[in-house]
């Protein structure tokens, strides 16, 4: 398994994804914006 350095921004995005899984309706729009920023 390879590991790679991730920027803090990516870690914040991961936390938002976790929150999205826990409460999809509340975070759906915000998650879409985060994914758009990662592109």
Better pLDDT: 5 or 22 = 22
Domain ranges of the chain: 8-38
Q: Is residue 13 scored above 70 in pLDDT? A: yes
Contact 31, 16 (CB under 8 A): yes
Contact 16, 34 (CB under 8 A): yes
What number is the average pLDDT over the span 15-39? 73
pLDDT of residue 18: 75
Q: Is residue 8 scored above 60 in pLDDT? A: no
Q: Return mean pLDDT, the chain.
A: 70
pLDDT band at 27 (very low <50, low <70, confident <90, very high): low
């Amino acid at each position: 398994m390879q590991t790679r350095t991730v920027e803090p921004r990516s870690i914040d995005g991961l936390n938002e994804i976790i929150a999205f899984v826990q409460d999809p309706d509340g975070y759906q729009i915000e998650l879409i914006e985060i994914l758009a920023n990662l592109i």
